[in-house]
Amino acid sequence: MITLDEFCGKAGFQNVLSEKCHEYLIEKECVGVQIQKPMRMLLRFLRMCAAKGEPLDHASKSAVECWNTKDVNETPRNHYYRVTEIRRFMQYLEKIGIAAYVDRDIRRVESSFVPYIFSHDEIARLFVAADDLPYTPISPQRVYVMSLLFRMLYGCGLRVSEGLNLIMADVDLEQGVLHIRSSKFGKERLVPMSKSLMYHCSEYASQVCKDRDANSPFFQTPKGEHYSPTTVYYAWRQLLYYAGISYGGKGKGPRIHDLRHTFAVHCLQKWAESGEDLNAKLPYLSAYMGHAGLSSTQQYLRLTAEAFPHITSKFENSFDVFPGKQVKL
């Protein structure tokens, strides 16, 4: 937990606003919210106020409006996150009796991005490509790391960061369970693995992870560090090429994160074709994937219906889970 002196040291000064920022962050941390990103945003806001000569004993309208101005190269999504994070702090100030301008006209940005859902054949080709990645003397064990990592991202629906942050103690090979600690929303969860993924993990551990202690990275570079997302992205581009899957360019996909989306869609496809009650299954899928709420999981219903139209016609009378326009991505 960061102290007031540490926070003010990062800000470069101490005043009413910086003290209230610190109290606000402590309050968020006490209820289990990760504070790294909010803290960076608040520090930027404080420095902007100081640089522009804004008052630092309250939050003025001019300061908030200046902050809310969209940068030229800023994406709508990043801009929305930036302004809503400061609005939450303004609401906190207002609640504790500090004068603050709360912009109540911030509208949520709807994402127009449509994830790429891999076919089962494409997934199989990606795994073959991962097993045949070219040898590199800089990282001799890369082929073993990437072969398992991409299977894990798809087979468990993990976020890339969750896979890369695994340590040896997080991988229970006897029970076949992953302990996800570093999650997007600060929520820990246990993720069971399939038998085939357990086998690959065991093979990997016996070949690559000898003599490692419990706190060592599970996916470890020759320097003993966690692999970086940049390294994984480079390998991903190679996989797409060798698997014969077209790449639309940065930001257009297919992205590594689309393996997670594909996992969810393939789960729903399997359950629907087996006659399972998808309404009953959704909460399980939501918990397994570490979603903040059920609404995040419901977006996959439309994707499943679009990827496998025969499921919609077969089950729409039995399940009220393909509402089409009601579920937005």
Is 260 marked active-site?
Answer: yes
Is 257 marked active-site?
Answer: yes
Question: Choosing from 20, 82, 87, 159, which is the catalytic residue?
Answer: 159
Q: Which of 270, 251, 252 is nearest to 262 (CA)?
A: 270
Report helix, strand or coil for 245.
Answer: coil
CB atoms within 10 A of CB 16: 14
Is 270 marked active-site?
Answer: no
Report the DSSP beta bridge partners of residue 59.
Answer: 100
CB atoms within 10 A of CB 99: 12
Residue pair 133/142 in contact (Cβ under 8 Å)? The answer is yes
Question: Choosing from 226, 255, 291, 302, which is the catalytic residue?
Answer: 291
Question: Choosing from 61, 184, 237, 310, which is the catalytic residue?
Answer: 184
Omega into 323 within 30° of 0, i.e. cis? no
Question: Choosing from 20, 260, 266, 302, which is the catalytic residue?
Answer: 260
Is 302 marked active-site?
Answer: no
Instruction: List all residues 6 or more positions away from 77 whose beta carbon is below 8 Å from its beta carbon.
Output: 109, 111
Question: Choosing from 10, 44, 47, 257, which is the catalytic residue?
Answer: 257
Instruction: Give one DSSP letter per residue of 42-111, joined into a string.
Output: HHHHHHHHHHTT--SSSB-HHHHHHHHSPPTT--HHHHHHHHHHHHHHHHHHHHTT--B-------PPPP
Strand 177-180 versus strand 171-172 pairing type:
antiparallel
Which letter, b or e, does each residue of 146-160 get, where b requires 16 or more Cβ atoms within 10 Å of its Cβ? bbbbbbbbbbbbbbb
State the Cα–Cα distance between residues 13 and 26, nearest whole angstrom.
Answer: 18
Residue pair 245/126 in contact (Cβ under 8 Å)? The answer is yes
Report helix, strand or coil for 113.
Answer: coil
Is 159 marked active-site?
Answer: yes
Is 200 marked active-site?
Answer: no
CB atoms within 10 A of CB 272: 25
With 0-12 CB in 10 A as exposed, 13-18 as middle and 19+ as buried, what is 289? buried
Find how far residue 34's CA is from the centre of its chain.
13
Q: Which residues are catalytic?
A: 159, 184, 257, 260, 291, 300
